[in-house]
Amino acid sequence: MKERIQKLLSAAGVASRRQAEELLRAGRVRVNGTAAQLGDSADPDRDTVEVDGVPLGQPPRRRYLMLNKPRGYVTTLRDEQGRRTVAELTADCGDRVYPIGRLDLNSEGLLLLTNDGVLCHRIIMPGSGVVKEYYAEVTGRFRPDTEARFREGITVDNHFRCLPARIEIAPDGASARIFVSEGKRHQVKRMVAAAGARVRRLKRLAIGGLRLDPALAPGEYRPLTQEELALLFQPVPDSKTP
């Protein structure tokens, strides 16, 4: 039966649907030897679908990598502006993996990469409840009611109400640990701005129960252990505030 190529690629664990679109736009997918276009379909039982010349076969072995993302790398597989990408940092892992969620260009810290669409979906889908922990260094001053406003759900950009979150501000007010369970664009920076300060450094320390390995230097990655992987598949505690 014919299926959209994006669907075939994500079912085979090659890329998320959005990333499959990027592969199609970049001309890296061929069906029976001809470059496929966005919107094309193929029948996996009758057609030969290849990505970068490699036929889709059995789903590839699952890979789960922890990267300590350095500043200055874009969280994508390929950047049209020619900037450095996180894919370059894991290119030698032997499998095609893609990032789970995003860190901004100048954010750093824990980034997971995988070819497992199920795990990716579980972590990034809205309402997943998976808590991400960040360390932020800031300029300016947090308003005195910041912790309470984070707990209630702070309003950012004057109209968008965030889900309840937690902030622990250091005694000198120059840094904070922030725990959020959603992942909108520039989420933490916008929350901090709404509280009167400005993020100048942002590092992700944990995703759910999984913490960044302090032994990983910026730019280094390693596979997750079985125990770490199990943490990501654990049920998310049912609590309103992280």
Annotated active-site positions, please?
104
Helices (H) and strands (E) in the chain, counts: 7, 17
CA distance 192 to 194: 5
Q: Which is closer to ligand URA, CB of 4 or CB of 186?
A: 186
CA distance 169 to 166: 10
Stretch that binds ligand URA, among 7-15, 142-150, 183-191, 220-228 (CB under 6 A): 183-191
The 3-state DSSP class for residue 23 equals: helix
The one among 74, 167, 187, 197 contacting ligand URA by CB under 6 A: 187
Does residue 104 interact with ligand URA by CB under 6 A? Answer: yes
CA distance 8 to 56: 9
Does residue 186 interact with ligand URA by CB under 6 A? Answer: yes
User: C-beta of 205: minimal distance to ligand URA in Å?
Assistant: 12
Cα torsion 149, 147, 233, 218 to 10°: value is 120
Does residue 188 interact with ligand URA by CB under 6 A? Answer: yes
User: C-beta of 125: minimal distance to ligand URA in Å?
Assistant: 16
Token couple for 144: 């005195």
Segment 132-171, which members bind ligand URA (CB under 6 A)?
none
The one among 86, 202, 206, 207 contacting ligand URA by CB under 6 A: 202
- Asked if 74 and 33 touch (Cβ cutoff 8 Å), the reply is no
Does residue 189 interact with ligand URA by CB under 6 A? Answer: yes
Q: Which residues sit at the interface with ligand URA, rule CB under 6 A?
A: 103-104, 107, 186-189, 202
